[in-house]
Structure 1
Amino acid sequence: MDVMKNFLLLAAGLYAVSATGQTVLHVGGSSGGAYKTINDAVNDALQRKNENVVVQVHKGVYYLPRNIEINAGDMKCNSLQIKPAANEQVTVSAGRPLALNWKPYRNGIYVANVPAGIRFERLYVNDVPQILARYPDYDSSAAVLNGTSPDAIKRIDKWKDAGNGYVHALHLHRWGGNSYRVSKDNNGKIKLEGGWQTNRPDGMNEKYVYVENSLEELDAPHEWFLDTKNNQLYYYPPAGIQPGKAKVVASNLKNSITLKGDATHPVRNVKIQGLRFAHNERTFMETAEPLLRSDWTIYRNGALLLDGTEDCSISDCEFEGLGGNAIMISNYSKRDTVNGCHIHHIGANAICLVGDPKVVRSARDKYEALLPYNAIDKYPGPKDENFPQHCLITDNLVHHIGQFEKQVAGVELAICAGITVSHNSIYDVPRAGINVGDGCFGGHLIEYNDVFNTVLETSDHGAFNSWGRDRYWSADRIFMDSITTVHPELILLDVQVPVTLRNNRFRCDHGWDIDLDDGSSNYRIYNNVCLNGGIKLREGFLRVVENNIMINNTFHPHVWFRNSEDVFRHNIVSRAFLPVEIPVWGREVDYNLFPDNDALQKSQQRNTDAHSLAGDPGFTDPAKGNYWLKSNSPAFEIGFRNIPMNQFGVLKPSLKKIARQPVFPPLVKSGYDGNEYLLK
Structure 2
Amino acid sequence: MADFIKLKAKVSFKCLILLVLQLHLTAASAVSQNLYVSPDGNDSNNGSILAPLQTPATAIARVKTRKGNAISIFIRKGIYYLDKPLLINPAALNGKKLHIRSYQNEKVTLSAGRRLHPKWEKHTENILKAKVDTGNFEMLFVNGQPLPLARYPDYDATARVFNGTAVDAIDSSRTARWKNPEGGYLHALHQGEWGSFHYRIKSIKNGLPELEGGWQNNRPAPLHKKERFVENIFEELDAPGEWFYDWKTRFLYAYPQKGTDLNKAIIEVSNLRHIIEIKGTSEMPVSNVAVSEIRFAHTERSIMEHYEPLLRSDWMIYRGGAVLMEYTANCVFTGCEFTNLGGNAVMISGQNLKSGIKDSHIYNIGSSAVCFVGDTSAVRSAAFGYENFIPFSKMDKTPGPKNNRYPLQCFAENNLIHDIGKIEKQCTGIQIEMASEIHVSHNTIYKVPRAGINIGDGAWGGHIIEHNDVFETVLETGDHGAFNSWGRDRFWHPNRKTMDSLALAHPEMILLDAQKPVVIRNNRFRCDHGWDIDLDDGSSNYHIYNNVLLSGGLKFREGFYRIAENNMLINNSFHPHVWFKNSGDVFRKNIVMRPYFPILVKDWGKEVDYNLFQNEADLKSAKSNGTDMHSKFGNPEFVNAEKGNYQVKSTSPAWALGFVNFPMNEFGVQNERLKNLADKVTFPVLLDAELESKIQEMPWLGIRIRNVRGLGDRSAFGLPDEKGIVVTEIPDSSILAKSGLQINDVIVAANREKTDNIIRLEAIRQQLNWTGKMEVEVFRNQQKFNLVLNLK
TM-score above 0.5: yes
Paired with 1:499 and 1:21, the residues of 2 have a C-alpha distance of 46
**Does residue 1:131 correspond to 2:148, yes or no?**
yes
Paired with 2:628 and 2:294, the residues of 1 have a C-alpha distance of 54
**Does residue 1:206 correspond to 2:299, yes or no?**
no
Paired with 1:243 and 1:460, the residues of 2 have a C-alpha distance of 43
1:104-253 superposed matches below 5 A: 104-115=122-133, 118-154=135-171, 155-184=174-203, 189-253=208-272
How many residues matched?
A: 665
2:114 aligned partner, one-letter code: R
1:58 aligned partner, one-letter code: R
Alpha carbons of structure 1 residues 163 and 377: separation in structure 2 relative to 1, 3 Å: same
1:26 is matched with which residue: 30, 36, 56?
36
User: Which residue pairs with 2:687 in the alignment?
Assistant: 668
User: Which residue pairs with 1:636 in the alignment?
Assistant: 655
Per-residue CA shift, 1:651-679, capped at 9, x if unaligned?
11100111111110001151536644525
Alpha carbons of structure 1 residues 346 and 17: separation in structure 2 relative to 1, 3 Å: farther
**Does residue 1:600 correspond to 2:610, yes or no?**
no
Paired with 2:77 and 2:644, the residues of 1 have a C-alpha distance of 41
User: Which residue pairs with 1:467 in the alignment?
Assistant: 486
Which secondary structure state, in structure 2, belongs to the residue aligned with residue 244 of structure 1?
coil
CA contact (8 A) 2:60 2:92 kept: no
2:577 is matched with which residue: 552, 555, 558?
558
CA contact (8 A) 2:175 2:207 kept: no
Alpha carbons of structure 1 residues 16 and 296: separation in structure 2 relative to 1, 3 Å: farther
- TM-score, normalised by the number of residues in structure 1: 0.96
The CA deviation at 1:16 is 10
User: Which residue pairs with 1:678 in the alignment?
Assistant: 771
CA contact (8 A) 2:78 2:109 kept: yes
User: Which residue pairs with 2:81 in the alignment?
Assistant: 63
User: Which residue pairs with 2:107 in the alignment?
Assistant: 89
User: Which residue pairs with 1:613 in the alignment?
Assistant: 632
Which secondary structure state, in structure 1, belongs to the residue aligned with residue 621 of structure 2?
helix
1:406 is matched with which residue: 400, 422, 425?
425
Paired with 1:378 and 1:676, the residues of 2 have a C-alpha distance of 44
CA contact (8 A) 2:345 2:369 kept: yes
The CA deviation at 1:51 is 2.5
CA contact (8 A) 2:490 2:513 kept: yes
Paired with 2:215 and 2:131, the residues of 1 have a C-alpha distance of 35
1:372 is matched with which residue: 386, 391, 395?
391
The CA deviation at 1:74 is 3.5
Which secondary structure state, in structure 2, belongs to the residue aligned with residue 453 of structure 1?
coil
Which secondary structure state, in structure 1, belongs to the residue aligned with residue 155 of structure 2?
coil
User: Which residue pairs with 1:447 in the alignment?
Assistant: 466
User: Which residue pairs with 2:277 in the alignment?
Assistant: 258
Paired with 2:234 and 2:169, the residues of 1 have a C-alpha distance of 15
CA contact (8 A) 1:48 1:76 kept: no
The CA deviation at 1:370 is 2.2
Alpha carbons of structure 1 residues 18 and 617: separation in structure 2 relative to 1, 3 Å: farther
Structure 1, unpaired ranges of 5+ = 1-14
2:419 aligned partner, one-letter code: H
Per-residue CA shift, 1:95-135, capped at 9, x if unaligned?
101111001111311000010x5210000111111110000
Paired with 1:168 and 1:643, the residues of 2 have a C-alpha distance of 44
Alpha carbons of structure 1 residues 330 and 192: separation in structure 2 relative to 1, 3 Å: same
User: Which residue pairs with 2:540 in the alignment?
Assistant: 521
Per-residue CA shift, 1:62-105, capped at 9, x if unaligned?
11121101122442141111111003110111110111100111
User: Which residue pairs with 1:354 in the alignment?
Assistant: 373
The CA deviation at 1:203 is 2.4
The CA deviation at 1:34 is 1.9
Which has the higher Rg, Structure 1 or Structure 2? 2
2:35 aligned partner, one-letter code: L
CA contact (8 A) 1:50 1:76 kept: no
Alpha carbons of structure 1 residues 568 and 18: separation in structure 2 relative to 1, 3 Å: farther
1:422-571 superposed matches below 5 A: 422-571=441-590
Q: Using the TM superposition, name which of 373-382 and 448-457 deviates more.
A: 373-382
Alpha carbons of structure 1 residues 187 and 551: separation in structure 2 relative to 1, 3 Å: closer
Paired with 1:41 and 1:342, the residues of 2 have a C-alpha distance of 26
**Does residue 1:40 correspond to 2:58, yes or no?**
yes
Which secondary structure state, in structure 2, belongs to the residue aligned with residue 454 of structure 1?
coil
The CA deviation at 1:17 is 5.9
Paired with 2:275 and 2:481, the residues of 1 have a C-alpha distance of 32
Paired with 1:22 and 1:638, the residues of 2 have a C-alpha distance of 65
The CA deviation at 1:634 is 0.5
The CA deviation at 1:468 is 0.3
1:331-342 superposed matches below 5 A: 331-342=350-361
Paired with 1:173 and 1:664, the residues of 2 have a C-alpha distance of 29
The CA deviation at 1:281 is 0.5
Q: Using the TM superposition, name which of 66-75 and 241-250 deviates more.
A: 66-75
CA contact (8 A) 2:216 2:303 kept: yes
2:409 is matched with which residue: 390, 403, 410?
390
Paired with 2:627 and 2:675, the residues of 1 have a C-alpha distance of 42
CA contact (8 A) 2:181 2:204 kept: no
2:157 aligned partner, one-letter code: S
Alpha carbons of structure 1 residues 252 and 452: separation in structure 2 relative to 1, 3 Å: same
Paired with 1:245 and 1:224, the residues of 2 have a C-alpha distance of 17
Which secondary structure state, in structure 1, belongs to the residue aligned with residue 365 of structure 2?
coil
Higher relative contact order (CA 8 A, sep 6+): 1
The CA deviation at 1:177 is 0.7
Alpha carbons of structure 1 residues 363 and 246: separation in structure 2 relative to 1, 3 Å: same
CA contact (8 A) 1:132 1:225 kept: yes
Q: Using the TM superposition, name which of 277-286 and 30-39 deviates more.
A: 30-39
User: Which residue pairs with 1:12 in the alignment?
Assistant: none
The CA deviation at 1:50 is 5.3
CA contact (8 A) 1:49 1:76 kept: no
The CA deviation at 1:486 is 0.4
More helix, by proportion: 2
The CA deviation at 1:263 is 2.8
Paired with 1:31 and 1:163, the residues of 2 have a C-alpha distance of 43
User: Which residue pairs with 1:302 in the alignment?
Assistant: 321
Which secondary structure state, in structure 2, belongs to the residue aligned with residue 153 of structure 1?
coil
- Percent of pairs with identical residues: 50
Structure 2, unpaired ranges of 5+ = 1-24, 43-50, 689-759, 773-791
Per-residue CA shift, 1:34-72, capped at 9, x if unaligned?
211111111111343652111100001111121101122
1:28 aligned partner, one-letter code: S
User: Which residue pairs with 2:729 in the alignment?
Assistant: none
User: Which residue pairs with 1:415 in the alignment?
Assistant: 434
**Does residue 1:78 correspond to 2:96, yes or no?**
yes
1:132 aligned partner, one-letter code: L
Paired with 2:771 and 2:439, the residues of 1 have a C-alpha distance of 31
Paired with 1:47 and 1:522, the residues of 2 have a C-alpha distance of 50
Q: Using the TM superposition, name which of 135-144 and 366-375 deviates more.
A: 366-375
Paired with 2:497 and 2:63, the residues of 1 have a C-alpha distance of 60
CA contact (8 A) 1:16 1:23 kept: no
The CA deviation at 1:31 is 6.7
User: Which residue pairs with 1:103 in the alignment?
Assistant: 121
Paired with 1:291 and 1:157, the residues of 2 have a C-alpha distance of 39
